[in-house]
Amino acid sequence: MRLFIAILLSEEMKKALTDAQQAMVDRGIRGRYSPEENLHLTLAFIGDYPDAQPVLDALNMVSFRPFDLSLEGIGCFGDLWWAGLKDSLPLAAVARRVRRALAESEIPFDRKRFSPHITLIRRASKDAAGIRVAPVGMRVQRLSLMRSDRGRNGMLYTELGTVEAALQEEVQP
Ligand code: ATP
Ligand code: MG
């Protein structure tokens, strides 16, 4: 199984992202656009791992309060173009907690520095600089363990489990 931990996006945020993809299409940019249902923000990429349960157990050790995310601009890694997120301490903190929980459970993951981005297109035929993304926000209430399968028409993502934000501080006994 190919696994990763992600934040799934609100319908409103996905709409802003597909509008940006449409602006790319209108500019004549060809490539592998992420389908709307696949748009997500990866917190940790685990890759091939035989069993989801230990990963779910690790994810359930992560506690966090609801926090807000906001889209901000676009950028690229080579010919892959992404939408960025406004700098956010709670987002960086939750990614750190997820990665620490995985490490403590001895679940391997990609340790490259967390660089929050939402992939819009891979193998873009030309530069997408200047494409605008509406600065839509959303409240993050849960984190998701995702499985990635190579389907007939691209990647298929399935949510295997979630951890919910804590609504109030836990009371210490
Ligand atoms: P494809 O690999 O066919 O382009 P994909 O990247 O959408 O498809 P996965 O490779 O399974 O699917 O990746 C799932 C998520 O994890 C994506 O958000 C991807 O960008 C991210 N990801 C993949 N590999 C890594 C990695 N080595 N480090 C960090 N994030 C990664
Ligand atoms: Mg990939």
Instruction: Give a three-class secondary structure readout of 19-52.
Output: HHHHHHHHCCCCCEECCHHHCEEEEEEEEECCCC
| Region for 17 from its dihedrals, namely left if φ exceeds 0, alpha if ψ lies in -120 to 50, beta otherwise | alpha
Categorize the per-residue pLDDT at 167 as very low, low, confident or very high, splitting at 50, 70 and 90: confident
CA of 90 to the centre of ligand 2 (A): 25
Look at residues 37, 36, 103, 98 and name the one whose alpha carbon lies nearest to residue 63: 98
Domain-embedded: residue 96: yes
CATH number at residue 143: 3.90.1140.10
Query: Which numbered atom of ligand 1 lies nearest the CA of 122?
Result: 4
Of the residues 117, 118, 138, 157, only one is catalytic, namely: 117
Of the residues 4, 13, 24, 40, only one is catalytic, namely: 40
Backbone angles phi, psi at 60, to 5 degrees: -70, -15
Which residue range is the domain that position 80 belongs to? 2-164
The arithmetic mean of pLDDT across residues 124-136, rounded, is 97
Domain-embedded: residue 169: no
Q: Closest ligand to 38 CA?
A: 1
Mapped onto helix, strand or coil, the DSSP state of residue 58 is helix
Whether residue 118 is predicted with pLDDT greater than 70 in this model: the reply is yes
Domain-embedded: residue 173: no
What pLDDT does 153 receive? 84
The arithmetic mean of pLDDT across residues 104-126, rounded, is 98
Domain-embedded: residue 157: yes
Please write the tens of the pLDDT for every residue from 18-72: 999 999 999 999 999 999 999 999 999 999 999 999 999 999 999 999 999 999 9
Residues with CB under 6 A from ligand 1: 2, 4, 42, 45, 110, 112, 119, 122, 148, 155
Q: Closest ligand to 156 CA?
A: 1
To 5 degrees, how large is the angle CA 100–CA 55–CA 162?
A: 95
**Pairwise CA distance, residues 75 & 117, whole Å:** 9
What pLDDT does 172 receive? 57
CB 159 within 8 A of CB 145: yes
CA of 155 to the centre of ligand 1 (A): 10
Site of tokens 């960025």: 84
Alpha carbons within 13 A on the beta-carbon side of 167 = 0
Domain-embedded: residue 170: no
Size (the chain), residues: 173
Nearest CA to ligand 1 atom 17: 42
- Residue 155: both structure tokens together: 């990647």
Whether residue 132 is predicted with pLDDT greater than 70 in this model: the reply is yes
Q: Closest ligand to 49 CA?
A: 1
Q: Is 85 a catalytic residue?
A: no
What pLDDT does 25 receive? 98
CA of 14 to the centre of ligand 1 (A): 18
Number of domains present in the structure of the chain: 1
Domain-embedded: residue 20: yes
**Pairwise CA distance, residues 6 & 4, whole Å:** 6
Domain-embedded: residue 14: yes
Query: Which numbered atom of ligand 1 lies nearest the CA of 2?
Result: 11
